[in-house]
Structure 1
Amino acid sequence: MKARHKRLGLVLVGLAGLGIGVWLVLSAFQKNLVFFFTPSQIAAGEAPQARRFRIGGMVENGSLRRDADGLTVSFVVTDTARAVPVRYRGALPDLFKEGKGVVAQGKLGADGAFVADEVLAKHDENYMPPEAAHALKQAQAAATPEPQR
């Protein structure tokens, strides 16, 4: 075998290894990619049915219910235009309150309720995830009728 053929073989093996490495990285990235949806987008059917995603908005006042086991809670997340019921089993963050911003991660159940496996509360009065703030502004703008002339 000539040196030229050996170099070509090494280059091809290197390219194949690089291709496999890129494929593994992109595959892992795709599996861990979590999208953010608002209650209005979920109601419109834009959210995936079988994949994990995040829902964000405000916890509706008067919607927090605790089961007898003390760990299972249900509440409603709203963007002022639409609302989605959420079920969660676990300890809620200390800053979690009705009327405050929340982001929950999980899957949409068959009954239309969001089954969360993680709940995040904002850390102070001025912070809200940019996606949630933008979504709330859009929902409020869509819900507010234009003045008639």
Structure 2
Amino acid sequence: MKGLKKKRRIQVIAVAVVALALSTGLIGYAMRDGINFFRSPSQVMAEPPRPEETFRIGGLVEDGSLQRGQGETIRFNVTDGGATVPVVFTGVLPDLFEENQGMIGTGKYVGGVFEASEILAKHDESYMPKEVVDALKEQGVYQEPES
């Protein structure tokens, strides 16, 4: 009787380990296209990714590099101080997007140019949406941020 309980316990543990390994493998397989790795411009220049790989790049928009083309096509350079990567984006840029400001872009690095499908503008910790500022002013509790 003791031998049967021990054997059953070992079987349950073995099945649990196999199920855990299988579920971990399936989760990894399902997420392989949904994971966007972040890279700095220096990392992109040191080891250029494959053209079909989607990733995120972040840094500062280089001063004097912003060029608006035909339609909604925009070209600019993103830098981290060590390297610069040219970026092309077709679409509407966020309101906070400007030169010498932080940005994060999602896209692919093709032919030496990062082709962005999405651009996010970074802001500092003192940023507040206009609606929030207006509401605080109405309540009389708004204080101007110190520069």
The TM tier, using the shorter chain, reads 0.5 to 0.7
CA contact (8 A) 1:56 1:102 kept: yes
* Aligned equivalents of 1:115, 1:86: Cα separation in 2: 6
Cα shift readout 1:72-98 (whole Å, capped 9, x = no counterpart)? 111100111211100001111111010
Structure 2 distance, partners of 1:30, 1:21, is 14
Deviations 1:65-118 (A, max 9, x none): 11121x1111100111211100001111111010000111100012x0000001
RMSD between superposed Cα atoms in Å: 2.8
Contact 1:37 1:47 in 2 (8 A): no
Which segments of 5 or more consecutive residues in structure 1 lack a partner in the other structure? 1-10, 128-149
Higher RCO by CA contacts (8 Å cutoff, separation 6 or greater)? 1
Aligned-pair CA distance for 1:23 = 3.1
Distance in 2 separating the partners of 1:19 and 1:62? 52
User: In the TM superposition, what is the alpha-carbon distance from 1:46 to its structure 2 partner?
Assistant: 4.7
2:62 maps to a residue whose letter is: E
Q: Report the TM-score, using the length of structure 2 for normalisation.
A: 0.68
Instruction: Give the corresponding residue for 2:86.
Output: 85
Q: Whose radius of gyration is greater, 1 or 2?
A: 2
Q: Is the 8 A contact 2:48 2:109 kept in 1?
A: no
Alpha-carbon spacing, 1:53–1:126, altered in 2? closer, same or farther (3 Å): farther
TM-score by length of 1: 0.67
Aligned residues: 124
